[in-house]
Amino acid sequence: MPHSPSASQGDLLGLERPRFGQFARQIANLRIADIEDCLAEQQQSGGQLGEILCRRGLLTHDQVVEVLKMQARWVAGAMRAEVPSGLPYPAKLSVCLPAYNEEANIANTLEGARAILPEFVRDFELVVTNDGSADRTAERVANVASRDERVRLVNHDRNRGYGAAVTTGLRAATGDLVMFTDSDGQFSLLDLPRLLVHLADNDFVIGYRLRRADKFSRLVNAWCWNRLVRLMLGVRVRDLDGAFKIFRRELIERLQLTATGACINAEIMAQCVRGGLRFAEVPVNHYPRYGGTPTGANLKVIAKAFRELPQLWQYRHAAPLAASPSTVAAER
């Protein structure tokens, strides 16, 4: 089931796009009471609204996909005039998705991306790096890839770490624009136009989580980590590890990517920010994880990040990476 944002949360930002439940009512003639009952189940037990509606026989899988397409068309229409190059944006976008034991989420994330992205970019590819998963992540991605050549699977023979998975995806990307995000569906590509609005005047754009949907312990860890990186490397961004960033391809090609763990975001941001690149930060929505187990708070992951951090000191006085940004050309 493609990931559907909670209709109870809706959009926390300025663009009040119609909620999932509103469009679901339109295409399936659902009663308000049905939606409210499903929302109550979601709040009590978790899970995706679309999945709950399907389980109850109120929506089909194809209707869930159609709802996401309707949301994307609405957002594209609302924001087209704000994006200098218009929508769909005249470039190919590579979306890199590091994945480790995400069999519960990855197929839904891919289906959602395939439904949404055609409204926002001229062309796209979804590059999934399976980081030595012990579950059926690779199988689920391969199944989608067999039906859509825009989905690419890259396998690690063992679990090498989040940073290594991000690096593999970025290096495998072929698009004019490159972004990475997580495979668990906590971000919505419906927020992509927010980033595209600012790309004409910047080398990269960061989406920061306006209201982070994580446990309190993870929020505390993130706050401490951000302050430490800011102190050591002089990197001042709102959401260092937020996995919703978009870059120009030529910038990605100039980056050194050596961190194999959670330090990868710090390494990328240190080079970009200390290298004098122009960037914008825009708020995006963040949703609860509906399946699988997060690894960010794992003690081994945290220890590895602290071991890698001193190696990034070299970027404290990074040389300029690029001149002023140039608009990505359309079809060459």
Give the pLDDT confidence score for residue 292 in this predicted structure. 60
- Residues with Cβ within 8 Å of 238's Cβ and at least 6 positions away in sequence, in order, are 206, 208, 281
| DSSP character string of 73-142 | HHHHHHHGGGSTT-SSEEEEEEEEEEESS-TTTHHHHHHHHHHHGGGTEEEEEEEEEEES-SSSHHHHHH
Whether 249 and 325 have beta carbons less than 8 Å apart is answered as no
Give the pLDDT confidence score for residue 288 in this predicted structure. 79
10-residue block means of pLDDT along the chain (332 residues)?
52 60 89 90 76 91 94 94 95 98 94 97 98 98 98 97 97 98 92 96 95 79 84 91 95 95 93 94 86 63 80 80 50 41
Give the pLDDT confidence score for residue 47 in this predicted structure. 67
Give the pLDDT confidence score for residue 291 in this predicted structure. 65
Residue whose entry in the numeric block shows the structure tokens 């055609």: 118
Domains of the chain listed by start with CATH number? 82-317 (3.90.550.10)
Give the pLDDT confidence score for residue 202 in this predicted structure. 96
Please tell me the pTM assigned to this model: 0.87
Q: Which amino acid belongs to residue 163?
A: G
Give the pLDDT confidence score for residue 262 in this predicted structure. 86
Give the pLDDT confidence score for residue 91 in this predicted structure. 98
- Checking DSSP bridges between strand 121-131 and strand 279-284, what pairing results, if any? unpaired
Give the pLDDT confidence score for residue 46 in this predicted structure. 64
Give the pLDDT confidence score for residue 329 in this predicted structure. 44
Give the pLDDT confidence score for residue 72 in this predicted structure. 96
